[in-house]
Amino acid sequence: MAGLLVVKVHLDWTGPAHYERGVSLPCRVCGTPTCQRDGQGRACEKTCAEDEIARELLGTGRALIADERVPTPAAFAGGRLATAGGPQ
């Protein structure tokens, strides 16, 4: 079964810690000069940070989907994992 995995990330950078007025440094991801700062205080465009997090989440999601040890929703019956030997 093929599926579509969509990851959208929206960060709230309205706080003053995410902006350093008058100090433009290259974004750590794309290199564009920016006054924006990430959670660790490094120069980073908000859209670059959102894309970076989305890529990480997408990779993790794909790995979980591909991992056969992770049960599918259909494998759950009545809140418990259904096994080949029946309910236990």
Per-residue pLDDT tens digits of the chain, which is 88 residues long: 456 778 899 999 999 999 999 999 999 999 999 999 999 999 999 999 999 999 888 888 777 777 666 666 666 666 665 555 555 4
Predicted confidence at residue 16, as pLDDT, reads 93
Burial 18-57 (b: 16+ CB within 10 A, else e): beeeeeeeebbbeeeebebbbeeeebbbbebbbeeeeeee
pTM for the structure as a whole:
0.67
Predicted confidence at residue 1, as pLDDT, reads 45
Predicted confidence at residue 61, as pLDDT, reads 79
